[in-house]
Structure 1
Amino acid sequence: MFRRKVHKTTSSHVVNGRSCTLQTRCEPNFEAESIYDFAYTLRPSDAPPKSDPIASAYGHVILRDMLGESRQWYTEMDAPSDETAQLSKLFDSRGRLLEEHISNPYLRGKGVWGHELSEGSILLVTVLRVDESHRRQGLATWLLNHLLSESSIQLEPTQYFDIPGIPPRTPTATCPFAMAWPSALVPARLTKEQREEQWDAALKTFRGVGFRRIGRTAFFARALTDTSHPSLTLAAQDDAGPAATPGATDGLGPDGLPLPPPPSLSPFLRGLIQPEWTDNGHRYPLHALMLTSTSDEYIIDTLSKLTTETERAHICMADPTALNATPLHYAAMQARTPVIEKLLSLGAQESLFALTSDGFTPLDYLQQAMRDKRAFVLTFQVRSWPGQTRNCVLSQAVLLEAMGKPVPNENAVKWGCTCGQCVEGWFSPVMCYQIHVHAELATDFVRDGLEMEAEVQGRTRLFKSSTLDMIPFMDYLPKSIRDPGMYASFINGYSAVFRAIARVTESKIIPTADVVLRHALEAEYFDAQAVRFFLEKGGKVEHALNGLLHTAREQGPGGDGDFLETFGEEMGTLPTCENDEDYILLRSNLRIPPDLNGPLSGSWLETSRASDAASFGGGFGTDGDSSDVEGMCEGDSEEENDEEMEEEEAEKEDDQDVDMSDDEEGEDEGKPDNDR
C-alpha cells in the first residue's frame, strides 16, 4: 500500500541531572521533493506523551546536489519556509555560493567561508525553542549540540510500497554544514527591547556552538564534518558583523560614522527637488533623480544643464547615506543606457571603478539586478520570459567597454550563456547533445514497436491501445489518438519525426517545430509520406519534442542520472553552461505549448492549424501553411490511406535489398506517376 514514509526515533538522555526523552522525526516536505523536514523534541521522561516539549528544534535537510542539477534550486527553496527562500538568495541557480560572499573585500566578512559551502546537503535550523520555565538552563545549547552531532540524517525509505519479506531501505543524507538565521528565530510580536534581547541570546547560543556568519549576510554556518575548518578557530567575539544598510540615523551613516556636511546645491539643483523625496533626496538630487520614474530624456536634458563646477561635482559624488553610491551606480542599477552614456561623457569615468561601502561597482549593481531577474524567472517557473531586456544588455556593453573589458555576445548576455557556445545564446552544447541522443534512441524505440502484435485489417495493421502502452514515447501522444488504436503508418511517421530531430540537432541547429517539420518532409519519399500521414491523423512535432525534453530531464543530471551512466564520458567533453538543464527556457524558446509538459494523461484539445501557426510559429512548414498536408489524401478513407502506405513500405523494403547502384531507380519506381 502506498503511504508517506516518516523516519522516527526515540532515545533517553540525562539532561541537567534529569531523565529526558528525545524524539526525532524526518519526513519529505510536502511542497519540495528534494527537501526534508525534521523535528527534535525533548520532554521529561515522566511527562505525559502529549505534553508540550521543554525544548524543540525544527528545520530542513536540503539535498542541494539534486536541486542544483535539476535547476530547481530557487523554485523548491521558495516553498517550505521563509528561511529557505531567503537562504536561496545567497546562492546561484545551481546552489553555489555567490562569488561576492567569497571574494568581495567587504561582503566576504572574515573570509572563513568559501567554495566549500557550494557542495553537499545542508542542515538548516529554522526553530530553536525552549519553554519559558526552563530557560537559562542550557537546554537550547544541549539540543543544538545533539542535533549537530548527527551530520548524517535518516531520510524516509525509498521503497514506497510495502513488499512482504523485503524491508524498506532507509537512506541517509550527510550534511557537511549546518546553517541558521538566528535573528529570524525571534517572534515579531515582541517589543523592540524584547526582540533585541532575544536576538542577542540567539546569536550567543549559535556562536557558542561554533556557528559563524557567512560573509556579512544574516545567515550563519557551522562545519560538521571538517574538524579543521577555519571557522572553528575564529573566536565568537571576532566574528563579522552584518552588512551596512542604506539610511542615516541621528546624523550617522550606515557604517555608524558621522555624516559629512551636505553638499552645496545651486539654485538649479535645488529646483530639481521634489516634495515627496526623502531627506537623502534633498541632499543629493541627482542620485534621487536616477531612482524615479522620470524618463531618460528628462534626465539627460537635466545633466546637459549642469554648467558650473559645483553642479558637475555631483556627477561623481558618493552618497554616504546610500553606501557611497554614485549617480552612475543608480543609473546602472536601473539599466538606463542613454543616461549611463551621458554620465560617462560628462566625466563619470572615475565612477566606473568606484566601490560602494559594500564593495560594488556600477557594473556589479547592474549584473546583480540582472541576476535577480533570472532568479525570479527560475523561482516562479516563468515560461514566457523574453530574456534580459535590451537596455540591460546594452548597459552592460557600455560599462564593459568603458572599463576596457571584453564585451560578450549580445545573445549570450540576453539568455545568460556562460560557455560562449550556445546557439543563439540559449541552446547549449550539453542540451543539444542530450536531445540528439534521445532523438536517435526514440527513432529506434518507436520503429521497433512495429514488431509487436497488431490486428491485421486487410493489408493494414492496427495497434491497439493496450499494445501502444508498451511502446516507448507513445504516452506523449494524446489519448484521443492512442485510445482508438494506431495504424503502422502513423507510428512510422512518429519515428520519422524523431529521426528529423536527430538530424537537426546533429547539425547544431535549434529544433523548432517548423525546422524539424521541414527536414522531415524533405526526407526520403516513404518517410515523408509517413510524416504526412502522422500529421493528418493529429500528430504534431511538438508531441515528439515534449517527449524528448521530458525524457532528457528525467534521465539527465537533475533526474535519475541514467543518461550519465551511459553517455557521461561524451558529456564530459562538452563545455558546461548556466543554460544546461534549463528545460523551462528550452520549452519556452521552442514554443512548446504549456499543455504539453510530460506524458499526456488527458485528452488533447485540438486547435486549428491556423491557430497553431499563429501561436507557435507555424507547425506545418516554413510559412505556417498546411494546405499541402491537408490535400495529400483528401477523399480517401483511413484504411485506404494506410493500405497505400503499407504497400509503399513493402516496396521500400524491397528496394533496400538491391545493390546500392539501383537505389535511385528503385526509389523512382515506387513513386506515383505524378511524382516521377
Structure 2
Amino acid sequence: MPLIDKTELTTKFKAKSHYEFPRALQTISLTVTHPQHGNVATLEALRIVRNACRGEFYDIMDAESDELLQLSTMLFDKHGRVHPWIVQPGARSGSGCWGRELDEGMLISLPDITVKEEFRGQGIGSWALTRFLESEHIAAQDKVICWPAPTGIRDHAAFETAKTRLTSFFRKHNFRRIGRTQFFGYSPKADHPSRGISADEDAAIADAQMAEPVDIDPEEAQTRFPLHAAIVNDSGDQIAAKIQALYDADPTIIHALDVGGCSPLHVAAQVKNLVAVRKLLEWDMTADLTRVATSTGVTPLEALETSMRSSRSFAETLLGQWPGYASEELTIQYLLKQRMGQVVDANLDSYIAKSKYGCTCGSCGGGWMSPRMRFHLNCQAALSRDMMPDFYDSFKRGQPADVGYLFDNASSYIPRHLYPSYYISFYKGYRDVFNAAYLLLETTDELLSANAIQRFLSRDSTFYFNKGGCIEYAFDAITAIAKEQSVEFGDGTHEETFGDDEKWVALPKCVNDIEFDLVRRMLGLSSAERWGPYDYGCEEDEFGGMDDDSEDDDF
C-alpha cells in the first residue's frame, strides 16, 4: 500500500446547480489529489435551500432520492421545519442537543466519501471531511447531515461492523445523532450543544429500544389480545362496558402488551378511540403513558399525534384541504397531556378551540391566525393602501385604465372581465378595501373577515362593488403577496424589512406563521376556485392556468 504524505494533498471544490431544481438544490463535490498518485479521494454533498422549495420540500426530496425523502420526512415537516419531537423533551429527542436551530441555514446532505482502496487506512477520509467542513461552502448557520450506512455489503454481520465503524468515524468529527433517528448532524459552531456531547454519550437509535415487530394472523390476534382487538373494532359507547368486563375477568389485561409491545392505551390513542381512552384512564396508567418499548418506539400521546399528522397530510395532499383536527382527537390529546402532567388549558373547550388548526403558540386568533401572520397581512394591507394612490395619475378621465401599464401588484388580482370597469373610481374603491382590512388589523383584535371589515369601508368602495368588485379580491392580493415575500415561499422581503422590528421580534413564533393556504381558506378563498394573479399579457390555458415563458434562475 503506497503511503501518502497528506501535506502533499490538494483539494478542488466544484459547486453546480441541480439540473431539475436549480434554486433548491446544489451539488458540491470535493476531489483530493496527490501529485504522484492522482485523485485519491472524493466527497459528494448536496446543498438544500429549503426556502427555495416553495412548499414542495417533500416532493423535491422524493424526486432526488429515497434517502433524502427519509431525511426530510423523519426530521422535518412539509415546510422544512424540524419536527417538534426532535427538539422537545421526550424519548425521541435523544441527547437533546438539537433544537430549533435546525430550522436555520442550509441543509447539507453528505451521502458519500470515497477513498481509493489502495490508500485507505491512512486518514485520508478524515482529512478530506475536515477540509470540507472548514470550507467556505459551509456557513455558520448551516447543518451537515449524514446517514452512516455502508453500501455494497450483503452479509449482515459485515454490514453491522462496517456501520459501527462508519458511525464512529462521523462521531469523531463532531457529528451527533439527531433525536433517535438514523441521521447525524454537524454544526460548524464550536459552542453548539452537540459539541458538549461526547461520542460515548451520544444517543442510541430508537431501534435499540423498540420491540421487534411480529407478524400475526388477525384471528390469532383477536384470541390472544381480546382487549386490543375490541378497541380497534369498536369505537362506540359500548366499548367502555367491554373494557370493564374484560378487566373484571382479569385486571392485568389493561396493561397487557401485544406482539408489538403496545398496551391497550397505545392502541386506543393510535386509532383515536375516545371512549376507550376515557375508560382506560380511570385506572393508573402511569407506566403505559411513558412506555416507548414498542415496535414504533412512541408513547400513546406520540402515537396519537403521529396519526393526527398523517390524517392532516392525507387531507391536504389528496383532498386539497384540511378541515382542522377533529374534536375527538383533540380531546384524547388533552386527556393524555393532562394525565402526563403537561401544561394544558384548564378548560377542554378552550383547548379544542385553540388547537383545532395546530396552533403551537397559544395566541392564534380563532386557532388559525397567528400573531406573526396577522402582522404580516397587516403590513401588506398597509403597503397596498399607501402605494395605490401613486398610480392615480395613470388614469384618464372617463376611461378605464390599461391594467398592463399600472405595474402595481394589487391590480394583478382583479379578474380580466372587470377591466372594462377599471376606472379611477373603481380603483379607489378597490384601495378602500385594503384600507378597511388594514384598519381592522391595526386597531382591533378581531379576526380578519369580509363581514368584519364592512364597518371600515367608506363611500369610495360603492362604485367598486356596484361594478362586480368583491372583498375577496383584496384578500387574495394581501395573502398571495405576503406568501411571495415570506422566507419559506418567496424572496424573504418581509423578513428583510421587519426582521429587526421590535414589534415583530416580540411576537411568539408558531407553526401557523406560514400557513398561508389555511388562512386563505378561512378568508373564503377556496382552492377549488381560480384566483389571481391574472397577469396581463398571459393567456389562460385550457385547464384554467396561465401560460408564460418564465424560467427559474440558477443559484
TM-score for both structures, normalised by structure 2: 0.78
> Secondary structure of the residue that 1:306 maps to in structure 2?
helix
The structure that has the greater radius of gyration is 1
* Correspondence 1:214 to 2:186: no
Tell me the equivalent position of 2:242. 302
Deviations 1:502-560 (A, max 9, x none): 344344444445665x558xx44453233212x1xxx4433322211122223345444
Tell me the equivalent position of 2:429. 493
* Correspondence 1:399 to 2:339: no
* Correspondence 1:40 to 2:30: yes
What is the CA distance between 1:397 and its match in structure 2? 3.1
Q: How is 1:32-431 mapped onto 2 (pairs within 5 angstroms)? A: 33-42=23-32, 55-63=41-49, 66=51, 80-88=64-72, 89-91=74-76, 97-98=82-83, 100-101=85-86, 104=89, 106-113=91-98, 117=102, 119-131=104-116, 135-150=120-135, 152-153=136-137, 173-175=139-141, 177-183=143-149, 185-187=150-152, 190-193=154-157, 195-226=159-190, 231-232=194-195, 236=199, 239-243=202-206, 244=208, 246-248=210-212, 275-276=217-218, 283-290=224-231, 292=232, 294-296=234-236, 299-300=239-240, 302-306=242-246, 308-309=248-249, 311-318=250-257, 322-323=260-261, 325-345=262-282, 347-350=283-286, 353-357=289-293, 361-373=299-311, 380=317, 383-402=320-339, 405-406=344-345, 407=348, 408-431=350-373
What is the CA distance between 1:446 and its match in structure 2? 2.8
* 2:415 maps to amino acid: P
Separation (CA, whole Å) in 2 of partners of 1:235 and 1:420: 36
* Correspondence 1:445 to 2:387: yes
Separation (CA, whole Å) in 2 of partners of 1:153 and 1:179: 14
Contact residue 27 and residue 45 of structure 2 kept, 8 A? yes
* Correspondence 1:600 to 2:534: yes
Separation (CA, whole Å) in 1 of partners of 2:7 and 2:226: 65
Tell me the equivalent position of 1:611. none
CA distance 1:224–1:276, change in 2 (3 Å): same
What is the CA distance between 1:181 and its match in structure 2? 0.8
Separation (CA, whole Å) in 2 of partners of 1:208 and 1:597: 53
Deviations 1:421-459 (A, max 9, x none): 3222102232223323322332343343221253x5xxx
Separation (CA, whole Å) in 1 of partners of 2:194 and 2:423: 67
CA distance 1:415–1:33, change in 2 (3 Å): farther
Separation (CA, whole Å) in 2 of partners of 1:526 and 1:201: 73
What is the CA distance between 1:40 and its match in structure 2? 2.2
CA distance 1:201–1:419, change in 2 (3 Å): closer
Tell me the equivalent position of 1:550. 480
CA distance 1:58–1:519, change in 2 (3 Å): farther
Give 5+ residue unaligned stretches, structure 1. Answer: 1-13, 155-172, 254-273, 607-676
Q: RMSD of the TM alignment (CA)?
A: 4.2
CA distance 1:18–1:427, change in 2 (3 Å): closer
CA distance 1:376–1:225, change in 2 (3 Å): farther
Deviations 1:94-144 (A, max 9, x none): 766555445646444445545655544333212223455655454433322
CA distance 1:138–1:384, change in 2 (3 Å): same
Contact residue 182 and residue 202 of structure 1 kept, 8 A? yes
Q: 1:475 aligns with which of 412, 416, 423?
A: 412
Deviations 1:345-394 (A, max 9, x none): 4x25445644333885433432343345556678x597411111232112
CA distance 1:305–1:54, change in 2 (3 Å): same
Contact residue 227 and residue 246 of structure 2 kept, 8 A? no
Separation (CA, whole Å) in 2 of partners of 1:191 and 1:452: 75
* 1:306 maps to amino acid: L
What is the CA distance between 1:340 and its match in structure 2? 1.0
Tell me the equivalent position of 1:31. 21
Separation (CA, whole Å) in 1 of partners of 2:425 and 2:541: 23
By relative contact order (CA 8 Å, sep 6+), the higher-ranking structure is 2
What is the CA distance between 1:315 and its match in structure 2? 0.8
> Secondary structure of the residue that 1:570 maps to in structure 2?
helix
Q: How many residue pairs align between the two structures?
A: 524
Tell me the equivalent position of 2:551. none
> Secondary structure of the residue that 1:305 maps to in structure 2?
helix
Q: After alignment, is 112-121 or 212-221 more displaced?
A: 112-121
* 2:14 maps to amino acid: R
Separation (CA, whole Å) in 1 of partners of 2:238 and 2:475: 48
Separation (CA, whole Å) in 2 of partners of 1:551 and 1:342: 49
Tell me the equivalent position of 1:642. none
Contact residue 109 and residue 214 of structure 1 kept, 8 A? yes
Tell me the equivalent position of 1:161. none
CA distance 1:191–1:363, change in 2 (3 Å): same
Separation (CA, whole Å) in 2 of partners of 1:502 and 1:103: 37
Separation (CA, whole Å) in 2 of partners of 1:582 and 1:221: 27
Tell me the equivalent position of 1:635. none
Separation (CA, whole Å) in 1 of partners of 2:113 and 2:223: 45
Deviations 1:258-307 (A, max 9, x none): xxxxxxxxxxxxxxxx94367x77654423554x4555457445324326
What is the CA distance between 1:416 and its match in structure 2? 1.2
What is the CA distance between 1:485 and its match in structure 2? 8.2
CA distance 1:42–1:382, change in 2 (3 Å): farther
* 1:59 maps to amino acid: A
> Secondary structure of the residue that 1:385 maps to in structure 2?
coil
Separation (CA, whole Å) in 2 of partners of 1:32 and 1:333: 40
Contact residue 299 and residue 339 of structure 1 kept, 8 A? yes
Tell me the equivalent position of 1:621. none
Contact residue 430 and residue 461 of structure 2 kept, 8 A? no
Separation (CA, whole Å) in 2 of partners of 1:527 and 1:300: 59
State the identity %.
28
Contact residue 37 and residue 59 of structure 1 kept, 8 A? yes
Contact residue 67 and residue 94 of structure 1 kept, 8 A? no
Contact residue 239 and residue 275 of structure 2 kept, 8 A? no
Separation (CA, whole Å) in 1 of partners of 2:97 and 2:460: 66
Separation (CA, whole Å) in 2 of partners of 1:590 and 1:47: 66
> Secondary structure of the residue that 1:24 maps to in structure 2?
strand
CA distance 1:363–1:216, change in 2 (3 Å): closer
* Correspondence 1:463 to 2:401: yes
What is the CA distance between 1:412 and its match in structure 2? 1.7
Separation (CA, whole Å) in 2 of partners of 1:395 and 1:448: 54
> Secondary structure of the residue that 2:281 maps to in structure 1?
helix
* 1:217 maps to amino acid: T
What is the CA distance between 1:466 and its match in structure 2? 4.4
> Secondary structure of the residue that 2:534 maps to in structure 1?
coil
Contact residue 496 and residue 531 of structure 1 kept, 8 A? no
* Correspondence 1:502 to 2:438: yes
Separation (CA, whole Å) in 2 of partners of 1:220 and 1:532: 61
What is the CA distance between 1:240 and its match in structure 2? 3.4
Tell me the equivalent position of 1:623. none
